[in-house]
């Protein structure tokens, strides 16, 4: 879906200075596409023995990109363009975003960039081996080195409040640690008693949720489902990987992955809806912007708002589960053929204390994220050593969710993020969750109700609204500005807490 309306300003003749910068930016875009293809291939197709070789190749590409981006001529071109008040709005936005990237990149030594890139590749490959072996010791030296290097990177970039600010800013521009701490404090305070009440009311888990479902049929349903809600398969693809993710390789090439397991059919479905939400955002960036600096998603919080919305506000809604059930009964008649709708809807929304974040329900999910945020922050404040992560993880899991993992595979090793140095990333999951509830409520109000659309599996009107309010802006504006224009002020935990309270009061026919 392309943008509508005049989002790029008036058409002006391209200045020679802009033309020279644009050529540089297009080269960086192409190098970035090659790096992203490496990432996708490593997660989906790379043979086990290819990890170290791929890590070195990825580091070489990262080094070349860093050298190109930090060329002093780019700085000179930016200086000249920033002094030109006649630039069209879209070019001003590209210059603004490039300046942000250039300033960060020129502060980080090239040898540090290469060292981090190579270590990330080796560390990720080690994680794919360590998790099934339940061997944290395999990962420990890589995580220790990554944390140390990311601290050096943060110090090179600079920060005002504390070191962790420099990491958050990579994923959520202008967000600070202090803001994130307050966000989690408010959310956890409101969510914990509500979650406990809902969990107490849930009762026994329906047996059909853990029945055996052939994985090839799960994937067949996932392929059908992502197309049903608007994913353009001519501009992307769906595959499988150990950890689901979405990545835009280049213009017209958005790739997503999901994960299937024999006894978790609903987890597979919601994983697919989650990643398709990401993919729809990537595919919705206006073509005339795509591939240039401001032709990207504005922040990972906004990105996550889309995945959480399609997974939860859409996918777990009463009308959409009503739409899915007949199709699932046809595919899995032995397990679902006799299941009445009310039982299916409750099962699709069954809340439970679980060890694995990616399989967590919407009631408990953000408690998993809060745990990770606190551990990351402790590491970067020097209050927690990497060697002590497993024990700290287990203690925090007990504190937040009342359970402890019996293995590190189900504990500290379950996520890929730390293995690739994505520190500062986790808070965006919760920020996106808060955005998703507020955005969907706004869209639903403006349309006078989306229930009938979703009952037919039709997401087209919602996509139009998202295009007009989110997608078409890309990174032409700052993420806080985009979000606050939609919801009419700063984001709070209130709309999300109220969404859960209303929804689960209806499911369990009691007032929470």
Q: Give which of 33, 35, 28, 27 is closest to 54, Cα–Cα.
A: 35
Catalytic residue among 275, 282, 311, 374: 275
- Taken in order 432, 438, 442, 443, the sign of the CA dihedral is positive
334 is catalytic: no
445: burial class by Cβ within 10 Å (0-12, 13-18, 19+)?
A: exposed
Inter-CA distances, 245 with 241, 255, 330, 376, Å:
8, 8, 28, 21
In sequence order, what are the beta bridge partners of 250?
253
d(CA 69, CA 325): 50
> How far is residue 511 from each of residues 191, 201, 336, 371, measured CA to CA in Å?
15, 11, 30, 28
Beta pairing class for 246-250 and 236-240: unpaired
DSSP state of 309: I
Q: Is 165 exposed, middle or buried (0-12, 13-18, 19+ CB in 10 A)?
A: buried
In whole angstroms, how far apart are CA 222 and each of 273, 324, 456, 493?
Answer: 8, 11, 17, 31
DSSP string, 351-382: ----S-GGG--TTTHHHHHHHHHHHHHHHHTT
> E strand or H helix at 249, and its extent?
strand 246-250
- Please return the burial class of 510, using the count of CB atoms within 10 Å of its CB with bins 0-12, 13-18 and 19+: exposed
- Separation of first and last alpha carbons in the chain: 39
Q: 492, 360, 477: which is closest to 438 by C-alpha?
A: 492
* Catalytic machinery residues: 275
């Amino acid at each position: 879906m392309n943008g509508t309306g005049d989002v790029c300003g008036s058409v002006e003749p391209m200045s020679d200075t802009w033309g020279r910068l644009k050529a540089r930016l297009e080269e960086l875009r192409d190098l970035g596409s090659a790096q992203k293809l490496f990432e996708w291939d490593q997660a989906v197709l790379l043979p086990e023995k290819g990890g170290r070789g791929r890590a070195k190749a990825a580091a070489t590409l990262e080094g070349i990109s860093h050298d190109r981006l930090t060329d002093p001529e780019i700085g000179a071109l930016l200086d000249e363009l920033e002094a030109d008040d006649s630039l069209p709005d879209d070019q001003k936005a590209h210059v603004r975003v490039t300046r942000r990237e250039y300033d960060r990149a020129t502060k980080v030594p090239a040898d540090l960039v290469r060292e981090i890139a190579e270590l990330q590749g080796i560390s990720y490959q080690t994680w794919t081996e360590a998790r099934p072996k339940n061997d944290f010791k395999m990962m420990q030296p890589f995580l220790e080195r990554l944390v140390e290097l990311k601290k050096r990177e943060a110090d090179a970039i600079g920060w005002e409040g504390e070191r962790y600010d420099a990491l958050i800013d990579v994923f959520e521009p202008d967000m600070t640690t202090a803001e994130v701490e307050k966000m989690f404090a408010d959310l956890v305070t409101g969510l914990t008693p509500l979650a406990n009440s809902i969990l107490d009311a849930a009762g026994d888990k329906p047996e059909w949720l853990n029945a055996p479902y052939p994985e090839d049929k799960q994937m067949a349903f996932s392929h059908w489902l992502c197309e049903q809600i608007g994913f353009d398969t001519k501009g992307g693809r769906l595959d499988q990987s150990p950890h689901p993710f979405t990545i835009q390789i280049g213009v017209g090439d958005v790739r997503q992955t999901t994960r299937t397991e024999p006894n978790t059919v609903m987890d597979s479905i919601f994983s697919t809806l989650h990643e398709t939400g990401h993919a729809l955002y990537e595919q919705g960036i206006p073509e005339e912007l795509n591939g240039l600096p401001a032709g990207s998603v504005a922040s990972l919080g906004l990105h996550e708002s889309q995945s959480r919305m399609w997974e939860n506000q859409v996918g777990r809604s009463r009308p959409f589960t009503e739409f899915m059930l007949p199709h699932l009964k046809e595919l899995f008649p032995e397990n679902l053929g006799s299941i009445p709708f009310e039982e299916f809807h409750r099962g699709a929304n069954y809340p439970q204390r679980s060890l694995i974040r990616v399989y967590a329900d919407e009631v408990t999910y953000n408690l998993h994220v809060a745990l990770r945020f606190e551990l990351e922050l402790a590491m970067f404040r020097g209050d927690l050593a990497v060697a002590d992560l497993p024990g700290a993880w287990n203690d925090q899991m007990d504190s937040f969710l009342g359970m402890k993992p019996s293995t590190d595979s189900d504990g500290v090793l379950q996520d890929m993020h730390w293995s690739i140095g994505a520190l500062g990333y986790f808070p965006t999951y919760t920020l996106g969750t808060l955005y998703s509830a507020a955005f969907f409520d706004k869209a639903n109000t403006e349309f006078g109700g989306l229930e009938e659309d979703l009952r037919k599996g039709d997401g087209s009107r919602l996509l139009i609204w998202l295009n007009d309010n989110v997608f078409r802006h890309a990174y032409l504006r700052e993420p806080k500005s985009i979000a606050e224009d939609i919801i009419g002020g700063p984001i709070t935990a209130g709309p999300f807490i109220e969404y859960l309270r209303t929804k689960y009061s209806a499911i369990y026919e009691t007032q929470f």
